[in-house]
Chains A and B, each alone.
Chain A
């Protein structure tokens, strides 16, 4: 994530202004990144390049709540699924309050948990990681365009 922020800051990756995300987005702080890794600001920095309408969850950054899927909860599988959904209520309410339709989270655990929560609590949100959003919105310089197309 630090690298992606650096590429954008240094202009090594450029975002197409036309492709910037228009829908409302919010950011899920992964515990390992924002609380234990002190990387919260990099997430905001990357979002500033990608999206027009960004709303923070409350609370956020190192005080954000765990998605409820961390610490091994998701790989613990079906025997713990019900509990995982029940205790995820706090995260579901945090997301709903933002009015966002897209949740960005640079963590596979949060990704799976929020996708499950969206179904459970009918949040109607999509979850995406930075990799996906950056590749969707970035400018592909001409030298990287596929040859076939260049020949047409």
Chain B
């Protein structure tokens, strides 16, 4: 709190995001209000106009552009409250905008700019640190991950004859990836997926690295970490010469 804002960095980000589409979107909104009723935040708050998607964009990214990046920390805190606390970037509003303005992308851009100044909800910041530390949002160690898979293999194997959870097998048709919440809180999910793959006769594997298919870094607006997360998975698939990557439910 109270740290100065690096408006140069914000300006750079705003310029980089100012594509032809972005310029058009910033100009085009006719304030017709058709996006309002598409938003569940607006509907759940008795049609309070401050929950309208267009309003939320104008108050955050719109203001940033208007002020050419010269915004205060207080402003960024207010942006956090709107961009994370009043929008889930679900993209429903874009479907109702007659001009096709992608308001969710604009909110995501605002999130990314907040992120450059360390203005990010704590829970997401923690997830980003976890991705850097262990490659997954829960900071589960490689050892724990492999142990969980072995445990699920032996437990599920008691019910399904011949069941294996093949780790790091090369050349498989499917490299299966999971949500890190599964090995952490719902390990039986891995057993269920293994059961289905096994009985369907699938040629599959899981990787000891790059196995978390969530990307909370994307929701945190952290482009560097979000790229890192995706790259880990693709690197694993290339290393294992997998033909396809499948992601969990």
CB distance from B176 to the nearest CB of A (A): 9
Residues on A with beta carbons closer than 8 Å to the beta carbon of B220: 72
Residues on A with beta carbons closer than 8 Å to the beta carbon of B85: 80, 83
How many chain B residues have a CB neighbour from A under 8 Å? 47
A13→B199 contact, CB < 8 A = yes
CA distance A25 to B220 in the complex (A): 34
Residues on A with beta carbons closer than 8 Å to the beta carbon of B123: 72, 75-77, 79
Residues on A with beta carbons closer than 8 Å to the beta carbon of B174: 3
A106→B87 contact, CB < 8 A = no
Task: Determine the interface band of chain A, counting residues with CB < 8 A from chain B.
Answer: 35 or more
B89→A70 contact, CB < 8 A = yes
Q: Which residue of chain A is the closest to B162 with respect to CB atoms?
A: A144
A4→B196 contact, CB < 8 A = yes
Interface 1/0 per residue, B66-95 and A, CB below 8 Å: 000000000000000000111111111001
Residue A125 lies at the interface, judged by CB distance under 8 Å to chain B: no
CA distance A132 to B249 in the complex (A): 11
CB distance from A115 to the nearest CB of B (A): 12
CA distance A108 to B81 in the complex (A): 24
A13→B196 contact, CB < 8 A = yes
A144→B161 contact, CB < 8 A = yes
Interface 1/0 per residue, B26-41 and A, CB below 8 Å: 0000000000000011
B45→A72 contact, CB < 8 A = no
CA distance A37 to B78 in the complex (A): 31
Residue A65 lies at the interface, judged by CB distance under 8 Å to chain B: yes
Interface 1/0 per residue, B113-147 and A, CB below 8 Å: 00000000111100100000000010000000000
CA distance A130 to B249 in the complex (A): 8
CA distance A98 to B44 in the complex (A): 19
Q: Which single member of A7, A131, A143 contacts B161 (CB below 8 Å)?
A: A143
CA distance A4 to B174 in the complex (A): 13
A residues 31-82 touching B (CB-CB < 8 Å): 31, 35-36, 62-63, 65-66, 68-73, 75-77, 79-80
CA distance A114 to B44 in the complex (A): 16
Q: Which single member of A73, A77, A138 contacts B122 (CB below 8 Å)?
A: A77
Q: Which single member of B40, B95, B249 contacts A129 (CB below 8 Å)?
A: B249
Residue B234 lies at the interface, judged by CB distance under 8 Å to chain A: no
Q: Which residue of chain B is the closest to A136 with respect to CB atoms?
A: B192
A76→B124 contact, CB < 8 A = yes
Interface 1/0 per residue, A1-20 and B, CB below 8 Å: 10110010000110000000
B91→A36 contact, CB < 8 A = yes
Residues on B with beta carbons closer than 8 Å to the beta carbon of A63: 92, 95
Q: Which single member of B95, B137, B161, B195 contacts A62 (CB below 8 Å)?
A: B95
Contacts beyond the supplied A129-B189, A134-B192, A135-B195: 19 A-B pairs with Cβ under 8 Å:
A13-B199, A31-B92, A35-B91, A66-B88, A70-B89, A72-B219, A72-B220, A73-B84, A76-B121, A77-B122, A77-B123, A80-B84, A88-B44, A108-B179, A108-B181, A132-B192, A144-B160, A144-B162, A146-B161
Residues of A within 8 A of B (CB): 1, 3-4, 7, 12-13, 31, 35-36, 62-63, 65-66, 68-73, 75-77, 79-80, 83, 86-91, 105-108, 129-132, 134-135, 138, 140-141, 143-147
9 contacts between A and B (CB under 8 A): A31-B92, A62-B95, A63-B92, A73-B88, A86-B45, A89-B43, A108-B248, A129-B189, A144-B163
Would you list the 4 A-B pairs with minimal beta carbon distance, nearest first? A72-B219, A66-B90, A106-B249, A71-B88
